[in-house]
Amino acid sequence: MSSAQSQVKPCHEEEEEDPCLKALLYSSSQVFPRILHAAVELDLFGIIARAGPGAYMSPPEVAAHLPARTPESAEIIDRVLRCLASHSLLACKSETLDGGRTVERRYAISPAGKYYVRDEDGTSVGSLSLFAFHQATIDVWLQFKEAILGGGGNLFQKVHGKTIFQCMKEDSSLNKHFNDAMAGLSTTQTRKILEVYHGFDGIMTLVDVGGGKGATLNMIVSKYPSIKGINFDLAQVIEHAPSYPGVEHIGGDMFVSVPEGDAIMIKGTCHNWSDESCIKLLKNCHKALPANGKVIVMDFIMPDEPEDTMASRYVSLLDNAMLIQPGGKERTEKQFEYLCREAGFTGFKVAARAVSALGVIEFTK
């Protein structure tokens, strides 16, 4: 008696962009961020990374590092790791054991997954997940419909009765998760920018407006030690900023004035503010620059038309996230040029792009 042959194709042979499957996937899109959040909280990426470069670990080996374990831990960890691997955050290889009765999967850090491994400063993009799932943030997203119906605006304040920065003063965990998220994001982005942008050559004094505690400027000055760096932010922000060689911390209000330099950097700041506020800031920068000085704006650039690319999807997500901020938005290249001209600058150039969509834009006086 012959065995029947299956006529059903494996799922990977199906059309990759099947419309129904895509709709089903997006309808469950809230699940993966929660799985990723748990993986970050449990430091699963760090556990695997510490096994060594290119090392693969089995689920029981990973589970052995958990702070609490049950007889089911290895099986549950396998399910979590398999999901992360299906999103290209881990690599996976399988081995058949017990004469074909058992398949053991082993997992390693993938090129994308390495960004979830904390660096020597304890930062990673995984910090963004911890901030996103803080209860104060979740409460705001549950009311996102109100941002659409209410014309945008500061949804965080509408939900909590105070701005996010006021809440951070009262909630130490929110403050930590926010600052860790910004540090992880900024460090990752700056490394990528320094790979592709060479416009810091020849700069003597570089002012970083809204530079936080100075980590970004420190990375730049470390690569270009001839630069004198001025890290400029609110007094309460720089109050506890660490000391960096070649970097001076100055407190103040960027909407009043900014320190002088032959170049001024504004990274990840314009998208927080309305056009009117950005133009006011840029005019202050214009006053602080010498002839032929430049402002270096680092922000994501929105494509003019939606594109079915990772870059376009990511910037669109950021743009919608900014609906909860007063006037915040991502901008197209043309919209950045409008800000440039309105502030009195004569030269405009997208000098480089990192990770496809992160623009480095020069406004020249």
Q: What is the pLDDT of residue 6?
A: 43
Asked whether residue 64 is domain-assigned, the answer is yes
**Statement to judge: residues 84 and 208 lie in one domain:** no
The H or E element containing residue 247 is strand 247-251
Quote the CA–CA distance of 293 and 140 in Å, as a whole number: 41
Residue 182: closest CA among 214, 135, 139, 207 = 214
Which residues on adjacent β-strands are paired with residue 108?
A: 91
Residue 220 near residue 227 (C-beta atoms within 8 A) = yes
Q: For residue 217, what are the domain limits?
A: 197-364
249 labelled catalytic: no
- Cα 91 to Cα 55, 88, 97, 106, 281, distances in angstroms: 10, 7, 20, 8, 45
Q: How many residues does the chain have?
A: 365
Residue 180: closest CA among 239, 113, 188, 192 = 188
List all residues 6 or more positions away from 61 whose beta carbon is below 8 Å from its beta carbon: 51
Quote the CA–CA distance of 69 and 137 in Å, as a whole number: 30
**Statement to judge: residues 207 and 91 lie in one domain:** no
Asked whether residue 122 is domain-assigned, the answer is no
**pLDDT, one tens digit for every residue, the chain (365 residues):** 444 444 545 555 555 678 898 899 999 999 999 999 999 999 999 999 999 999 999 999 999 999 998 999 999 999 999 999 999 999 999 987 776 677 889 999 999 999 999 988 778 899 999 999 999 999 999 999 988 888 777 888 899 998 888 888 889 899 888 888 888 888 899 999 999 999 999 999 999 999 988 989 999 999 999 999 999 998 888 888 899 999 999 999 999 999 999 999 999 999 989 899 999 999 999 999 999 999 999 999 999 999 989 999 999 999 998 888 767 899 999 999 999 999 999 999 999 999 989 999 999 99
List all residues 6 or more positions away from 316 whose beta carbon is below 8 Å from its beta carbon: 302, 306, 330
Buried-state track 280-316, b at ≥16 Cβ within 10 A, e below 16: ebbebbbebbeeebbbbbbbbbbeeeeeeeebbebbb
Quote the CA–CA distance of 346 and 310 in Å, as a whole number: 33
Asked whether residue 181 is domain-assigned, the answer is no
Asked whether residue 5 is domain-assigned, the answer is no
Among 115, 141, 168, the domain boundary falls at 115
Total number of domains constituting the chain: 2
222: CATH: 3.40.50.150
92: CATH: 1.10.10.10
Among 115, 149, 165, the domain boundary falls at 115
- Cα 293 to Cα 205, 221, 269, distances in angstroms: 11, 18, 20
The H or E element containing residue 348 is strand 347-354
Q: What is the pLDDT of residue 121?
A: 76
Residue 114: closest CA among 29, 66, 186, 184 = 184
Residue 359 near residue 300 (C-beta atoms within 8 A) = yes
Asked whether residue 152 is domain-assigned, the answer is no
Per annotation, catalytic residue among 37, 160, 271, 286: 271
**Statement to judge: residues 105 and 207 lie in one domain:** no
Among 115, 139, 162, the domain boundary falls at 115
